[in-house]
């Protein structure tokens, strides 16, 4: 199949804290030929970063909790347990954002950083492209309330044992997709990661 698409028109239908664009387009079909003209709205989120902060020596994960507008249709669960995340601004790399957001949102200095994966979060309607990292931290003094006032952030930070974090996932206490993916990845790679980062510390 020769995969092609054609954008017939594009317009900005909303510009606020976020932007929404409206497209008229068509694309080739698996069975041959072209689709009919279709209209779709696209929520422009851009490229973002998320970081699972992990202390391999204490076997602890850094979790944050904050109010999320996207969850207000379920009022009892409008505060979501998540991991550090943020948008990539012009001139920044994904790694730059990982280090910056870890300090701003959790007061954590990353000692080692590795990419877990890169993926679209909701490609049916959002342009958001995530680079998901795991960051090695010392969790000894991590906790409290963090975030930037000028961004209206009110973020509660805590550390939990990995087993507790995984139990929270199993019990449905973690309902946001990105931390679910990150904690499941850590469950599969935790022992290997602890050995790898222990070796790095020893060599240093």
Tokens of 33: 């030929």
- One DSSP character per residue, 42-95 reads EEE--EEEEEEEEETTTTEEEEEEEE-GGGTTSGGG-EEEE-EEEEPPTT--HH
* CB-CB contact of 160 with 104 (8 Å): no
Phi, psi of 22 (to 5 degrees): -115, 130
- What whole-number distance in Å separates Cα of residue 37 and Cα of residue 29? 12
Residue among 6, 37, 109, 151 flagged as catalytic: 151
132, β-bridge pairs: 50, 117
For residues 39 and 30, is the Cβ–Cβ distance under 8 A?
A: no
Q: Are strands 60-67 and 155-161 parallel, antiparallel or unpaired?
A: antiparallel
List CB contacts of 143: < 8 A, sequence separation 6 or more: 157, 158, 159
95 is catalytic: no
Give the angle subtended at the CA of 164 by the CAs of 158 and 169, to the nearest 5°.
95
Q: What residues act catalytically?
A: 151
């Amino acid at each position: 199949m020769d995969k092609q698409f054609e954008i017939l028109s594009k317009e900005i239908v909303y510009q606020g804290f976020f932007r929404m664009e409206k497209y008229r387009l068509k694309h080739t079909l698996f069975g041959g030929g072209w689709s009919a003209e279709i209209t779709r709205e696209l929520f422009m989120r851009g490229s973002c970063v998320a970081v699972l902060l992990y202390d391999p020596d204490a076997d602890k994960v850094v979790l944050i909790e904050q109010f999320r507008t996207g969850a207000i249709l379920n009022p009892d669960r409008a505060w979501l347990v998540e991991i550090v995340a943020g948008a990539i601004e012009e001139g920044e790399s994904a790694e730059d954002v990982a280090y910056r957001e870890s300090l701003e949102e959790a007061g954590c200095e990353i000692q080692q950083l590795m990419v877990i994966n890169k993926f679209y979060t909701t490609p049916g309607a959002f342009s958001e492209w995530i680079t998901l990292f795991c960051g090695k931290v010392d969790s000894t003094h991590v906790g409290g309330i963090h975030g930037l006032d000028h961004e209206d952030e009110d973020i509660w930070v805590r550390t939990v044992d990995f087993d507790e974090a995984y139990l929270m996932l199993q019990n449905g206490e973690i309902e946001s997709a990105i931390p679910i993916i990150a904690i499941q990845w850590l469950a599969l790679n935790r022992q290997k990661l602890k050995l790898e980062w222990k070796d790095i510390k020893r060599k240093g």
